[in-house]
Amino acid sequence: MTSSHSHFQAVTRQTIGRLWLSLGLTAVFVIVELAAGLVANSLALLTDAAHNFTDVIALALTGGALRLAIQPANSGKTFGYHRAGILAALLNSTLLALIALGIFYEAYRRLVSPPKVTTSILIGVGAAGVVVNLVTALLVERGSRGDLNLRSAYLHLMGDVVSSLGAVLAGVAIRWTGLNWIDPLASLVIGLLILWNAWTIVRASLNILMESTPSDIDVEAMLEDIRAVPGVRGVHDLHVWSLTLSLRTLSAHLVTEDVPISTGAKIQEQVSRVLSDKYGIRHATLQLECEDCVPAGLYCDITLSTPSKPR
């Protein structure tokens, strides 16, 4: 367990280093893009600069949450600090949604009265943005599939790649057609993309915070696999949830015959192996009960008891 935690710490520190590099590159480009957007009078560039600025915040939050996540569990935080990344992802996605709403408002104003746009600056800076954002996104991509915190940062950056590409296409279209309303229209499309990315992260974050069963786990199939383990007669009081996107946890009561402790330990080991190999659940708490025990329901109905009145 100690060596596993040390490996996790080493990998996390490497990830944090890449995050800080991405943050530095993004921060410099935000300043360049903001100045270019003001000079070119382009909402698409200003929109992309605003989105990039949220990436600076997102990368800082992501890095801070990762530093917190490697802290060991203690008496006050017996599960450790893994949920810090989920809170950071939720905050990042909420910030994205607010930015999108601001973009919609400004795009509406400019659609009503489109200002003249300097297309050469729009195209040049937008093309540079595609390169910068793609590099920073690739720096963060490693590990993002199994970590919602990293995934939120990665989606931020990939959204910027598309945003910058949209700015370039808007500049080319305006140059060819002379229609300046294409610039705020491109911003509306970018805003919708940002809002969709925000919603996917919010939904995943809330599912984890609500202790929902991971969406890729078929509970019925998992129960069949558990009951197929020799010695298991039944399952009840089942709970399956996630601490993070990739860290799954399970607790359950296993009904067995009245067997010795050594035999029960083998049953627990076999069930734990099935859960780890087939469902990615590497932290399972399994309580053994004999068949003479009165079983509860499959899913434990946890309710708050009404405290008795003091006499």
Give residue-wise pLDDT tens across range 247-263. Answer: 889 999 998 888 888 89
Average pLDDT over residues 150-175: 78
Helix (DSSP H) and strand (DSSP E) numbers for the chain: 8, 3
Between CA 96 and CA 79 the distance in angstroms is 29
Residue type, 227: R
In a domain, 225, yes or no: yes
Rounded distance between C-alpha atoms, residue 282 and residue 280, angstroms: 6
Query: How many domains does the chain divide into?
Result: 2
Is pLDDT at 221 greater than 80 in this prediction? yes
> Which of 209, 242, 271 is where one domain is finished?
209
Angle at 92 between CA 89 and CA 93, to 5 degrees: 85
Nearest to 126 by CA among 177, 166, 78, 157: 166
Neighbours of 283 (CB within 10 A): 14
Looking at the structure, tell me whether residues 98 and 45 fall in a common domain: yes
Q: Distance between CA atoms of 149 and 15, rounded to whole angstroms?
A: 12
Which of 50-54, 164-168, 171-175, 237-241 has maximum average pLDDT?
237-241
- 308 part of a folded domain: no
pLDDT at 307 over 60: no
Q: What pLDDT does residue 145 have?
A: 67
pTM of the model: 0.67
Q: At what angle do helices 148-177 and 83-112 cross, to 10 degrees?
A: 20
Residues 51 and 165 placed together within one structural domain of the fold = yes
Residues pairing with 290 in the sheet: 256
| Domain span holding position 126 | 2-209
The torsion region of residue 139 among left (phi > 0), alpha (psi -120 to 50) and beta comes to: alpha
Same domain, residue pair 145 and 98: yes
Phi-psi region of 231 (alpha: psi -120 to 50; beta: other; left: phi over 0): left
- Dig out the tokens for 118 from the structure: 């300097």
pLDDT for residue 125 is more than 90: no
Is the pLDDT assigned to residue 308 strictly greater than 90? no
Query: How many residues in the chain?
Result: 311
Residue 304 lies in a domain: no
* CATH code assigned at 263: 3.30.70.1350
d(CA 89, CA 73): 21
Summary mean pLDDT of the chain: 79
Of 307 and 267, more confident: 267
18: left (phi over 0), alpha (psi -120 to 50) or beta: alpha
- 8 Å CB contact between 136 and 181: no
d(CA 140, CA 154): 6
Backbone torsions φ then ψ of 122, nearest 5 degrees = -60, -45
